[in-house]
Amino acid sequence: MLDGVTFSRKRFFILASISAGIIFIGLAVLAARVPFSSETLRKRIIATLSDRLDAEVELGDVRLRALPTLHAELHDLIIRHEGRQDVPPLISVKRVLVDANLIGLWRKHVAHVALEGLEIKVPPKERREDSRDEEGKKRDAAVATSGNDNGTMATTVREVVIDEVVADEASLTILPRDPEKNPKVWSMHELHVKSVGAQTRMPFRSVLTNAVPPGEIDTTGSFGPWQRDDPGLTPVEGGFTFEHADLGVFKGISGILSAHGSYGGSLNRIDVKGETETPDFMVTVSGHTVPLSTKYHAIVDGTNGDTTLEQIDAQFLKTAIVAKGGVYDVKGVKGRLVTLDVEIPSGRLEDVMRLSVKADKPPMTGGLRLHTKFDLPPGDIDVVEKLKLDGAFVIHGGQFTNPNVQKQINELSHRARAKDLETARQKVTSEFSGRFKLGGGKLSLAKLTFDVPGAIVELDGAYSLPHETLDFTGTLFMDAKVSETMSGWKSLVLKVVDPLFRKNGRTVVPLKIQGTREDPKFGLDKGRVF
């Protein structure tokens, strides 16, 4: 279920393709309009990219060769968000190689562009209103339609296409809002984009290493046409595989995850559907592995990484889990908040206990229904310590696997029904229900009801997961009188106290349960008798 933390990672290779595609458009314009000198080319690159991207552009040395084919070599290209000197450049490229031929240029096609040392650094999303006045907007419109050099170039941007762009061994960095938090870095071993242009649908393929959890993502799809006025509306679609993702980076769980799926929509609303398999998923506190598989539907905002989990269907052993929620950034804290609404409509208690307790055998078996709020805050501590749950459960047909514990339950039921103490004890099942809260590794239970034939126990208390200790107080309700639970002279003596415990036609006994999960101690709460 926690695999949900990994879903939103797929947005980043989309951002990479977007940013790289923007650069390629500007380069295509300049390559298609072959200038007479390297310096002319350099000036046009700066002017065109600045105009088309609303950005501040820096460019180092430019070399141009026209024969036998056009070859341009650009060094130290830097593109910054306009007015954003407080963050690193959005795009920087150590070297750009552009190759074209005369026939291709005539058709407004550039054959090949290679980018070496491409680094994309996406800054935190900034809210700001468009400060341009009406005159500025009119000037923009005039430039877009005028016949001067800039206007012609803007028109050309919409017409030129780069047949292939290659940017291998590039990097994508997502900068956090909080400067104290570490940025997320993705290494793109391969990035190939076809048919790159301002008004084209651009097929791409990328192979990259995911940061957290570490693993290899392979994705193919298409991106564009680029929506300059509202980049968040830029279309994107494709499919992906995610292999060998090590969940051990999240304290408290482990396992190797693989995933595959598809995505589509626009950059600010990417609809993702996929499946995951983790054959060796483990919650560390238990030390037991289970095969975990999930199917999910998520909505990802590619501009800030927030993920809404529309539906998660998880399956492990004989238990199915249905969940909805989201994965969101938390200001000032490393990591993201996972918040879910979780339901087990018809599961097995022993499956859940295999994930949560250390014993080779689960302490108890039975049918399980459960509903809970699930909050996993960010932070570098064990999952069991930071996980928060708040919900309710029902256990049907429960039986304890510890023979001594089950023997005591059988004995309780036998005596509570005033059975002949000389007859054999029947093995009984137990019914449980109640509310629970988990926080700081402590499971608190309220209105816990334990029902066996002839007796009902109502408890309140807590169970420590790390230490497996019990501390409960409650009340035992029995059909039999206290004296009827014993035989011989003990039964005669206890007849004296029957009225003390008899209320409304049944016996009411205050009790307490302490000790450990392996060795629980049941006793009379003497302080509450009177």
Decide if pLDDT at 305 tops 80.
Answer: no
Comparing 126 with 432, which gets the higher pLDDT?
Answer: 432
Flag whether pLDDT at 143 surpasses 70. no
Residue 320 and residue 514: Cα distance in Å, rounded?
32
Q: At what angle do helices 149-157 and 134-145 cross, to 10 degrees?
A: 80
- Residues 213-231, mean pLDDT to the nearest whole number: 83
Confidence label for 141 from pLDDT (cuts 50, 70 and 90)? very low
Is 415 strand, coil or helix? helix
pLDDT band at 12 (very low <50, low <70, confident <90, very high): very low
Tell me the pLDDT tens digit for each residue of 420-430: 888 888 999 99
Nearest residue to 1 (alpha-carbon basis) of 324, 334, 390: 324
Stretch 473-500: mean pLDDT, rounded? 89
pLDDT at 180: 67
The mean pLDDT value for 106-128 works out to 79
Q: Which residue has the higher pLDDT, 466 or 27?
A: 466
Check pLDDT > 80 for residue 489.
Answer: yes
pLDDT given at position 38: 74
pLDDT at 4: 41
DSSP H or E run through 217: strand 215-223
Q: What share of the chain is helix, strand, coil (3-state, %, to 5)?
A: 25, 50, 30
**Residues 495, 501, 506, 508: what is their CA dihedral angle, to the nearest 10 degrees?**
-140
- Res. 228 pLDDT band, cuts 50 70 90: low
Q: Between 203 and 384, whose confidence is greater?
A: 203
Average pLDDT over residues 117-144: 55
More confident residue, 32 or 345: 345
Assess contact for 452 and 495: CB atoms under 8 A: no
Q: For 506-513, what is the mean pLDDT? A: 89
Distance of CA 113 to the CA centre of its chain: 36
Q: Is the peptide bond before 68 cis (omega within 30 degrees of 0)?
A: yes
Share of the chain above pLDDT 90, in %: 29
Tokens encoding 424: 């054999």
Average pLDDT for 78-93 = 82
How confident is the model over 229-267, as pLDDT tens digits? 776 688 889 999 998 888 888 777 899 999 999 999 987
104 pLDDT band (50/70/90 cuts)? confident
Mean pLDDT, residues 186-202: 84
Distance CA 517, CA 76 (A): 65
Q: Rounded to whole angstroms, how far apart are CA atoms 350 and 363?
A: 8
Residue 139 has pLDDT above 80, yes or no: no
Q: With CA atoms as reference, report the closest residue to 117 among 90, 97, 95.
A: 95
Cα 324 to Cα 60, 198, 205, 360, distances in angstroms: 50, 38, 31, 32
pTM: 0.70
Q: How confident is the model at residue 103 (pLDDT cuts 50, 70, 90)?
A: confident
Contact predicate 325/309, CB 8 Å: yes
Percent above pLDDT 70 for the chain: 81
* Burial call 228-253: b when 16+ CB within 10 Å, e when fewer: eeeeeebebbbebbbeebebeebebb
pLDDT, position 269: 84
Among 27-36, 152-161, 314-323, 435-444, where is mean pLDDT lowest?
27-36
Which token pair is 415?
């005596």
The per-residue pLDDT for 145 is 42
393, 434 contact by CB (below 8 A)? yes
Higher pLDDT, 150 or 100: 100
Is pLDDT of 148 > 70? no
Residue 3 scores a pLDDT above 50: no
- Which pLDDT value is given to residue 221? 93
CA distance 220 to 263: 10
Pairwise CA distance, residues 389 & 341, whole Å: 10
Return the higher-pLDDT residue of 490 and 182: 490
- Segment of 82-86, 102-106, 206-210 carrying the highest mean pLDDT: 206-210
User: What pLDDT was estimated at residue 432?
Assistant: 92
Which pLDDT score is estimated for 197? 75
Alpha-carbon gap, residue 100 to 106, rounded angstroms: 10
pLDDT at residue 462 tops 50: yes
User: What is the pLDDT at residue 402?
Assistant: 87
Do 525 and 513 touch, CB atoms closer than 8 A? no
In the predicted model, what is the mean pLDDT of the chain? 80
- pLDDT higher than threshold 60 for residue 80: yes
- Is residue 494 scored above 90 in pLDDT? no
What separation in angstroms does the CA of 307 have from each of 149, 224, 310, 311, 337? 44, 22, 9, 12, 10
Tokens of 135: 């005159």
Segment holding 370, helix H or strand E? strand 364-376
Please check the confidence at residue 504 and state whether its pLDDT lies above 50. yes
